[in-house]
Amino acid sequence: MMGKAAVFLDRDGVLIEEPHLLADVAQIRLFDYSPLAIEALRRAGFYVIVVTNQTVIARGLATEEDMSRLHDAIQQLLHTANGSQIDAFYVCPHHPYATLVNYRIDCACRKPKPGMLLQAAHDYNIDLHKSYMIGDRITDIIAGARAGCKTILVETGAHLEKPIETTEPIDPRIRPDFVCQDLSQAVEVILEGA
């Protein structure tokens, strides 16, 4: 049986406004367009899955349980806005130079590695070649490309910043398939059959 397509989203700067080290529910600010964008993707038959690196856990600023509460709060904000929902959240709590030793791991899940996307594909029977990765950093784009997805870079601010710390070399040949202003425009591109 052929797998279903998914749209993978980075969280900060794509689904919600870029916070500085999000660890408190009060810091969450959904972009105004996010609920409609999520609803449109799900109505079109896509899974919508968040894949997010969270160094706040590796730094000891939040726990994995705190992160679950933050994601529950995001779900509640989406539901309150228009009944939309994220199908799943995948979190990488690791960092190669983590403050907390138990998270100081050169893992397979921290983007630009594709581990979170591959795990979601296994869990949800996703066809990665029919799927998309939307992110605001080159490391999101590399993870999506390595997983076999089409990729969309959104220019909501972090695309101008230096790449995140990674043990992986940043391959300068990897470029997004599409560049969009924000998640809303990216969803338009997807729904037009990109």
Report all structural domains of the chain as residue ranges with CATH numbers, in order of start: 6-191 (3.40.50.1000)
Annotation marks residue 127 as catalytic: no
Residues with pLDDT less than 50, the chain: none
The reported pLDDT for the residue numbered 171 is: 79
One DSSP character per residue, 117-178 reads HHHHHHHHTB-GGG-EEEESSHHHHHHHHHHT-EEEEE-SSGGGSPPPP-SS---TT---SE
C-alpha–C-alpha distance, residues 181 and 172, integer Å: 22
What is the predicted pLDDT for the residue at 156? 86
- Single out the catalytic residue among 10, 136, 140, 182: 10
123-159: pLDDT as tens digits: 999 999 999 999 999 999 999 999 999 999 999 876 6
Instruction: Tell me what pLDDT residue 164 has.
Output: 66
Q: Is 10 a residue of the active site?
A: yes
